[in-house]
Structure 1
Amino acid sequence: MVTMMQLQPNVEYTHALLERCSNIKELKQIHGLILKKGNITHHLIVSRLLASYVSIEKGKLEYARTVFDRISSPNTVMWNTMIRAYSNSNEPEAALLMYHQMLHHSVPHNSYTFPFILKACCAISAFEETSQIHGHLIKRGFGSELYATNSLLHVFATSGRMESAHALFNRLPTRDVVSWNSMIDGYMKFGNIDMAYKTFQAMPVKNVITWTTMIVGFVRKGIHKEALSLLQQMMAAGIKPDRITLSCSLSACASLGALEQGEWIHTYIDKKGIGKDSILGCVLIDMYVKCGEMEKALQVFSSLEKKCVCAWTAIIGGFAVHGKGKEALDWFFRMRKARINPTPITFTAILTACSHAGLTKEGKSLFVKMSTIYKINPSMEHYGCMVDLLGRAGFLKEAKEFIESMPLKPSAAIWGSLLNACYMHKHLELGKEIGRILIELDPDHSGRYIHLASIHAAGGEWNQAVQVRNKIKDRGLLNLPGLSSITLNGVVHEFFAGAGSNPHIQDIYDMPNLVGNRNDMFGVN
């Protein structure tokens, strides 16, 4: 507590007290002394007082605004303080009003005014105002000021106005790493991966944000192999990856089944002493699960200091994809015993586990409890799990009635799940009915026609099967080939069905003959 005896009239001492002040009660006490001693006209003291109110109130700016409104002639620093505070608050539009008043009072700007007001424009997508402020920035002589122009570039890129961003970027007299990163981030966010990569390659000096932006963008677009290649280049360039880089790289490993790279990243995390927070822990578990290493996934889970619901869900989902429904149920009940509440994703995992393991009764019970006990409204994905559960168990009529009673309009994926079940259980008449519904619902998906053709073929109706397949060509639909991948010596190799684009394809085709010749040499039949 600051006592009145401690408060000195000295300006420097008062300034020091304001810097050390940590609560509103002390601040008001110091404010009172400033008024009493007449220091309220000292701009340095008033600026520091205003900044202290803004900092301590943390977004609640009513008192700070009152103090500001009582200042007779606030200077540029004071205006900037309030604009910045509003741009960081829950009412960024107030920053624009402050700026308008600043213009009305003909207050001089400085290089910090524009970044603060542009941040507010970005927060409320004020594109027209951004263009006006761009004009003010040039008119007042800040068109070549890097800090201000970078802020404008960030707004353009964040809002998807990449033509404006590109034009501004080309006019910049100097560019720093922030300028380049804004362009790369903008191109990535709005789907222009080619331009993002072209800009990335042209960038003279890259930092961890640059590399991470590219890796995250590649992973989000499903370009996993290239993402891992970038990670290797990043490490070779001597740039240390951060948690986000490592998490996204592990996600790429999980999608590719690239266990070797995933284990290498895990070793790197341990060697560098990088703590496994909830995100990093979960992606490690997910990587091991998808690479078929449940034991290692459990080891990672056990090593986590704080086991959040995502980690529990990852383990439950792991047992689900490996067909171990009873183990998944066991871990679900362990999670509840640990007082961790399940999320919608948790229920997707546990319902999938019940479906794959044939635990129909348990799955039905959990689906009911989901809304009655855990107060989670089922999504389309949960309804899909239930259709899959009933379909796999052979309850096809019940599954169809379940779909027809859904409060949500059933998606093509849900009808497709039932169609697969009809094919599996040879219920061909119902399958043909569902197949026709699917094609009507999703006429531009080639897989729907293939499924219906398979149903006709299973019933010996070859002419009908050919007719359905011909519709794929008639509609000009693409039938995407299957893809598989393997990891060899840390490199991921991808193979498309029927394609000969792999550089080692001839060696692969020759391998059966080579193996056969060797067997003949050693007398192996």
Structure 2
Amino acid sequence: MNPPRSLFPELPPAGHALLRLVDSCRAPAHLRSLRAAHARLLFLLRLPSHPASAAVRVKLIQAYAACAALPAARAVLDASPDRTTVFFNVLLRGLTAASLHRDALLLFASMRPQGHACFPDHYTYPLALKSCAATDGLVLGRQIHSSTARLGLDGNVFVAHSAISMYARCGRPDDAYQMFEEMQYRDVVSWNAMISGFAHAGLFGRAMDVFRELVALQCPKPDAGTMASILPSMGKARVEDIALLKGVFDEMRFKGLISWNAMLAVYTNNEMHVEAVELFMRMQKDGIEPDAVTLATVLPSCGEVSALSLGKRIHEVIKRRRMCSSMLLENALMDMYANCGCLKEARDVFDSMGTRDVVSWTSIISAYGRHGHGREAIDLFEKMCGQGLEPDSIAFVAILAACSHAGLLDMGKHYFYSMTSEFHIAPKLEHYACMVDLLGRAGCIREAYDFIMVMPIKPNERVWGALLGACRIHSNMDIGLLAADSLLRLAPKQTGYYVLLSNIYARAGRWADVSMVRSVMESKGIKKLPGVSNAELGDRVHTFHIGDTSHPQSKMIYKKLSELLRRIREMGYNPEVEATLHDVEEEDKEGHLSVHSEKLAIAFLLINTNPGTPIRITMNLRTCSDCHHAAKLISTIAGREIILKDVNRIHYMVQGVCSCGDYW
């Protein structure tokens, strides 16, 4: 904003032009112009003797701070003989904005000794308290807060908000809440400060309690700051809390980008990927311009539901707006393409990156591993190490998983033991789980069990779950029961492990034991997680459940599915009835299998897409052996590539052959 002439009546026209230039300098790239304007002002106005000197110097401090030239801003302050509290406040704001909090506190401490004209005021104290919060300076924060009370400023809402944040961030959330409760007037910023304070302290339940109280009051209305404040508390949120936040979001008359990004993040963090994609599409229809945070948030959801068309459109936005220098976005793009079964496109993004960090390498290694290309994953891992980048703990999870999916037992063992011998990384539970999975998939069930028995850390449910899964694959009931016993003690409410145990019994034809497992589940109120498949068509992600008849095209879908099943039976397909968990008649088992969600999704896309178009399906569970077999045969009769992404890996099926080599 140009300075009004009335504020600087003593300035000549050239001085006003120079001040306009100073006001326009708001980034480091403008520093050269700012220095030139400063020099000309010194000459023109004979600073500091000119009557407008003080106001001009304040503007110079403000501009230097905005240009991240804080030493220059401090030099202007030090050279000002007529400095006042305003000078210090402007520089304090610049220091806190640059996270130079210790420098800010030193500057704050220097104010009072310089005389009454430089005493802190109601603008100074919030900045000082903010720096105390950032430096965990509880003792100094208390002293500053006490000073505000003596001066009668503790009732000022800005001071109170900063004090609440300071106490909460310095490990005294109860003190913060007491302040909050004692406030005579609480605006939405007060509530946001308390919500954020509890969230920062890790007291997510209490943060949610304050949020619910605010929503129930209906005045003041939650705003974008509320959305941002509650976000850390919504990592693994209850369905009703997400619905409550969604209601707040929908009722907001003016939704800024912060609110959209917060709602997207809540959906993504809670694995509500269909909702995240739909919200982003709504955002586009409302004409809201996304930023890098928006795109990095929604891209993982695109990958999770195989929303390739949307992912490609986002990629075009990134290229058009020249955001490709953002490693965060490039890594997210790579993951999106890989999760959609587009390994070539993922590799293209990787190869085009100007700079790659360990996260980038880990992403592409993981992508090849999930697609069953273990050898290529190993080549990439070795190339990363050859370029001087040391793999971290997560990179080893990626390479061990790649070896497991490809059945590369010896290489997997090599990498596991090299963690400690070569890279001095102590294996964690996730690495042990990968090793058990590697051994188990390779049929070394006894070795996997013995490996668990000598682990230096107590195995968790993931470790035992990997063993139980291997026992299901190789029909090893003896060790499977041992694994199940440990699992059900560690995670008595985890549905998936009961299902795995049921599958082991079912494969052995022990239907009485299957019924026993189901009875135990029913007595404990445990319900089998329903299989859900997602398929993108146009601007929408369509969701299917087992036996689903809710879709508008249900009649056409079931007709198409009947035709497909008839044709693959002619090719020798027989339903793998041991995949069902029910002790029912053979015909009923076949009927149960025929309406699994992935089969419905495949039929839906075959109806609605042109011949030759790849079929992309995402599942929330591991695909059953029957659906895997059926999908391979359908890829032959339909002449389509079928990319089926389940919870474990990506199955790329062409002409009856799957990239997993039936090893999953």
Give the structure-1-normalised TM-score: 0.83
Q: Secondary structure, in 3 states, of the residue corresponding to 1:495?
A: strand
Kindly indicate whether the alpha-carbon contact (under 8 Å) linking 1:53 and 1:63 is maintained by their aligned counterparts in 2: no
- 2:333 matched to 1:284? yes
In the alignment, structure 1 residue 435 sits paired with structure 2 residue 484:
yes
2:102 corresponds to which residue? 60
CA distance in 1, matches of 2:302, 2:507: 38
Whether the aligned pair in 1 keeps the contact of 2:400 and 2:431 (CA below 8 Å) is yes
Q: Does 1:96 align with 2:139?
A: no
- Residues 1:108 and 1:476: Cα distance change in structure 2 (over 3 Å): closer
Q: Contact (CA 8 Å) 1:24, 1:56: kept in 2 or not?
A: no
The answer to whether the Cα contact below 8 Å between 1:157 and 1:182 also exists between their aligned partners in 2 is no
Question: Which secondary structure does the structure 2 equivalent of 1:60 belong to?
Answer: helix
Name the residue aligned to 1:70. Answer: 113
- Stretch moving more, 360-369 or 322-331: 360-369
Q: Provide closer, same or farther for how the CA distance between residues 320 and 72 of structure 1 changes in structure 2, counting only shifts above 3 A.
A: same
Q: Distance in 1 between matches of 2:480 and 2:87?
A: 80
d(CA) in 2 for partners of 1:116, 1:504: 56
C-alpha distance 122-263 of structure 1, shift in aligned 2 (>3 A) = same
Match of 1:264 in 2: 313
Deviation at 1:362, TM superposition (A): 1.2
Mapped contact 2:154–2:160 kept (Cα < 8 A):
no
The farther-off stretch of 456-465 and 22-31 is 22-31
Letter in 1 for 2:342: E
User: 1 CA distance for matches of 2:97 and 2:289?
Assistant: 33
Q: 1:433 to 1:127 in 2, by over 3 A?
A: closer
Give, in whole Å, the separation in 2 of the partners of 1:231 and 1:377. 41
Alpha-carbon displacement from aligned partner over 1:9-36 (angstroms, at most 9, x marks no partner): 77864772982595669958974x77xx
Distance 2:483 2:216 in 1: 56
Matches within 5 A, 1:193-212: 193-212=242-261
Contact 2:302 2:311 in 1 (8 A): yes
* Residue 525 of structure 2 is aligned to residue 476 of structure 1: yes
Residues 199 and 505 from structure 1, CA distance in 2 versus in 1: closer, same or farther, beyond 3 angstroms? same
Aligned match for 1:156, one of 180, 189, 194: 194
1:355 aligns with 2:404: yes
CA–CA distance in 1 between the matches of 2:276 and 2:99?
Answer: 43
Of residues 116, 125, 130 in structure 1, which corresponds to 2:162? 116
Q: Which has the higher contact order (CA 8 A, sep 6+)?
A: 2
Deviation of the 1:492 alpha carbon = 1.4
Cross-structure match for 2:376 = 327
Q: How does 1:308-323 map to 2 (within 5 A)?
A: 308-323=357-372
State which of 500, 515, 521 in structure 2 corresponds to 1:451: 500
CA distance, structure 1, for counterparts of residue 192 and residue 264 of structure 2: 20
| Alpha-carbon spacing, 1:132–1:410, altered in 2? closer, same or farther (3 Å) | closer
Task: Tell me if structure 2 keeps the 8 A contact 1:278–1:310.
Answer: no
Please list, as runs of the form range in 1=range in 2, the aligned pairs for 1:482-501 lying within 5 A after superposition: 482-501=531-550
**Pair 1:369 & 2:418 matched:** yes
The question of whether the paired residues in 1 share the 8 Å contact of 2:188 and 2:220 is answered with no
Determine the structure 1 residue equivalent to 2:390: 341
Report how far residue 295 of structure 1 moved. Answer: 0.5
Q: Bigger shift: 9-18 or 242-251?
A: 9-18
Question: Which whole-Å deviations, capped at 9, do the CAs of 1:491-523 have from their partners, x for residues lacking one?
Answer: 2111112343334323322335678999xxxxx
Once structures 1 and 2 are overlaid, which stretch shifts more, 486-495 or 291-300? 486-495
Name the stretch that deviates more: 491-500 or 11-20: 11-20
**TM-fit CA distance, 1:465:** 4.4
Query: Which stretch has the larger CA shift, 286-295 or 169-178?
Result: 169-178
* In 1, Cα distance between equivalents of 2:76 and 2:320: 51
Identity of matched residues, %: 27
Give 1:215 shift. 1.2
Give the structure 2 partner of residue 129 of structure 1.
Answer: 175
Q: Which amino acid aligns with 2:159?
A: T
Contact 2:306–2:339 under 8 Å retained in 1: yes
RMSD of aligned alpha carbons = 3.8
Q: Displacement of 1:397 after TM fit? A: 2.1
Q: Is the 8 A contact 2:531 2:545 kept in 1?
A: yes
CA distance in structure 2 between the partners assigned to 1:313 and 1:445 by the alignment: 29
Q: CA deviation at 1:383?
A: 0.4
Q: For the Cα contact (< 8 Å) 1:184–1:197, is it kept in 2?
A: no
Task: Give the drift of 1:50.
Answer: 6.9
1:238 — aligned with what?
287
- Distance (whole Å) between structure 2 residues aligned to residue 231 and residue 502 of structure 1: 23
Task: Answer whether contact 1:187 1:195 (CA < 8 A) is retained.
Answer: no
Q: Distance in 2 between matches of 1:92 and 1:269?
A: 43
CA offsets per residue over residues 245-272 of structure 1, 9 Å max, x none?
1122111111112222211221222233
CA contact (8 A) 1:7 1:14 kept: no
- Is 2:558 the counterpart of 1:509? yes
| Contact 2:443 2:474 (C-alpha < 8 Å) held by counterparts | yes
Residue 454 of structure 2 corresponds to residue 416 of structure 1 = no
- Please tell me whether the aligned partners of residues 180 and 194 of structure 2 are also in contact (alpha carbons under 8 angstroms): no
Residue identity opposite 2:349 in structure 1: V
Separation in structure 1 between the aligned mates of residue 416 and residue 430 of structure 2, nearest angstrom? 12
Q: Go from structure 1 to structure 2 and tell me whether the alpha carbon gap of 1:291 and 1:368 turns closer, same or farther (over 3 Å shift).
A: same
2:429 to 373, 376, 380: 380
Report the 3-state secondary structure (helix = DSSP H, G, I; strand = E; otherwise coil) of the residue aligned with 2:526: coil
Aligned counterparts of 2:370 and 2:386: Cα–Cα separation in 1: 23
Counterpart of 1:70 in structure 2: which amino acid?
P
Mapped partners of 1:477, 1:391: distance in 2: 27
Task: Please report how far the alpha carbon of residue 318 of structure 1 lies from its aligned counterpart in structure 2 after TM superposition.
Answer: 0.8
**Aligned partner (choices 500, 509, 516) of residue 467 of structure 1:** 516
Q: For 1:85, which of 102, 108, 131 is the aligned residue?
A: 131
Return the offset for 1:469: 4.0
Ranges in structure 1 where 5+ consecutive residues have no aligned partner: 519-523
Q: Is the 8 A contact 1:282 1:310 kept in 2?
A: yes
Q: Equivalent residue of 2:378, what SS?
A: helix
- Against the structure 1 CA distance between its residues 458 and 106, is the aligned structure 2 distance closer, same or farther, given a 3 Å change threshold? closer
Which range is displaced more, 86-95 or 15-24?
A: 15-24
**Contact 1:218–1:227 (CA under 8 A) maintained in structure 2:** yes
* Structure 2 unaligned spans of 5+: 1-34, 199-205, 568-636, 638-664
